[in-house]
Amino acid sequence: MMKKTFKLSLVCASIFALTACGSDDTDTTHLEEQIQTLEAQNDKLTKEKASVQSESDQYRNQAAELTATNNQLQEKAVGYISNFQEQCAEVGITFDYENPNPENPYINNGKTPELLMARSYSIVNSMPNQPNNHEGRDNSTCTNCHSEQVPDKHFGENCTSCHNFAEPEPTDPVTPTEPGAPGNPTHPADGNWDGLTGASAPSTFYYNTDGASFVNAEYLNTRLGKQNTFYEWKESSDGTSDVKSACGLANREHITTMFPNDGKPYELAEYKNFKGAATFITQRKENGESIASAATFGPGMHKGEDGEFYVTMLIGKNNTCKNLVNNSKGEIHYYEFDTRSNVKLGSPELGARNAGARIQVSTDYAQSQLNSFDWSTPVYGANGEAFDPTAVDWNTVGACSLTLKVEVIYPLG
């Protein structure tokens, strides 16, 4: 009776404004049925809510598991990225790798730049013959270009600081010519090298049948003194620390090394190396004995107007210079080595592990000159006429601008 009275009191409180409730004179049966119905509905809703909450918790747990799995897969996927192109594709930037040295058969990362000659040829002989137009420039600037003793000749590297050169007249484009086949002999043309090599098995020991020896002057001209171009990530305050930005840098397509992505700023730096090593072999006399000298330089090679091939270089006064002047001859061993190839004489995929040629040269005294200690003022030569090597006072010489005629090209051995 107390429980029923309490329920009635609640009902009466809610409908007090409509009725005059009392515990003695009011029939509450209908209201009690409504309350029971509402309580049943409330219990049902509570159970349904608990069921929905349980299902929601289950979905939330599944979502968390899926997120964790996705993160693990992403980490695993990133772990499989092995080059810069894949690294960029991961951030939505796709591009293919391009070999910056497409002409090089031995490496897959480099390009062949323009003809590289020693300064003695490219600067002295290729500068335009400009009159003495030195207004507004001091003497120290002009002597970087040419000496006071020979004002119409150009030396050194800084001629543009002394002269203003007019733009050259437009010329018709020259149809490029293919270099000769590496193994097609030109010096001598018949490829008879027995007397030069002394080898017992020319078909194998010379490497020539495998294209490993560059006995064609035209082809050798594309290798000797030329450089390959490479790129590397270099720490720089002007660089970027963001992978996506790095993927938009100039020359991005020429590198496969992954961007460091360690929070430090990097730039894409370019550097160059010679395709091969050129070792000069010369002889000198000391106390009646013949002594060999060997030195490695980076000479240039070019084809002269006379159709002959020449090797040029600018070096300090050393044994190689003295020997080439005094003896008028020497030998160059040009050598390229591909560390990736495990086949000595060559492979279809990588080419020969050993490549190059041996070159016999003679000194051209008319195109060579001996300079003073400033490396630019001529002491002997520079007038287009041959100088006498026996009259040279080496105490006055500081550098040698040498032009060597290619006499014989023969295979490695």
Over residues 109-155, the pLDDT tens digits come to 433 333 222 322 333 333 334 444 554 555 555 665 665 555 555 55
* Residue with the larger pLDDT of the pair 333 and 75: 333
Residues in the chain: 413
Q: Distance (Å, rounded) from C-alpha 219 to C-alpha 277?
A: 16
Residue 17 reports pLDDT greater than 50 = no
Q: Distance (Å, rounded) from C-alpha 161 to C-alpha 157?
A: 9
How many CB atoms are closer than 10 A to CB 193? 22
| Mean of all residue pLDDT scores within the chain | 77
Residue 323 reports pLDDT greater than 90 = yes
Whose CA is closest to 231, among 260, 265, 267?
Answer: 267
* Opening angle at CA 270, ends 267 and 276, nearest 5: 150
- pLDDT tens string 177-209: 567 788 889 999 988 887 777 665 655 556 666
Instruction: Please report the pLDDT score of residue 148 as a whole number.
Output: 55
Instruction: Please report the pLDDT score of residue 282 as a whole number.
Output: 95
- pLDDT tens string 359-395: 999 999 999 999 999 999 999 998 889 999 999 999 9
Instruction: Please report the pLDDT score of residue 139 as a whole number.
Output: 52
What single-letter amino acid sits at 324?
L
Share above pLDDT 70 across residues of the chain, in percent, rounded to a whole number: 66
Whether the upstream peptide bond of residue 185 has omega within 30° of 0, thus cis, is: no
Residue 74 reports pLDDT greater than 70 = no
| Residue 277 host element (H or E) | strand 277-286
| 384-393 CB contacts, 8 Å cutoff, 24+ apart | 389/325, 389/326, 389/328, 389/363, 389/365, 392/325
- pLDDT tens string 85-103: 999 999 999 999 998 888 7
The three-class DSSP label of residue 9 is helix
Q: Distance (Å, rounded) from C-alpha 208 to C-alpha 96?
A: 35
Summarize the confidence of residues 258-284 as an average pLDDT. Answer: 93
What single-letter amino acid sits at 329?
K
Q: Distance (Å, rounded) from C-alpha 123 to C-alpha 224?
A: 18
Q: Distance (Å, rounded) from C-alpha 221 to C-alpha 243?
A: 41
| 133-138 CB contacts, 8 Å cutoff, 24+ apart | 133/163, 133/164, 134/162, 134/163, 137/161, 137/162
Could you tell me the pLDDT band of residue 4, with boundaries at 50, 70 and 90?
A: very low
Instruction: Please report the pLDDT score of residue 55 as a whole number.
Output: 82
Q: Distance (Å, rounded) from C-alpha 296 to C-alpha 310?
A: 17
Residue 394 forms beta bridges with which residues?
none
- Full DSSP string of 336-403: EE-TT---SS--TTT--SEEEEEEEEEE-TTT-EEE-TTSSSEEEE-SSS---GGG--GGG--EEEEE
Burial of 357 by CB count in 10 Å (0-12 exposed, 13-18 middle, 19+ buried)? buried
Q: Distance (Å, rounded) from C-alpha 193 to C-alpha 183?
A: 13
Residue 62 reports pLDDT greater than 70 = yes
Instruction: Please report the pLDDT score of residue 232 as a whole number.
Output: 94
The structure's pTM equals 0.61
| Cα-to-chain-centroid distance, residue 11 | 90
* Residue with the larger pLDDT of the pair 20 and 315: 315
Could you tell me the pLDDT band of residue 166, with boundaries at 50, 70 and 90?
A: very low
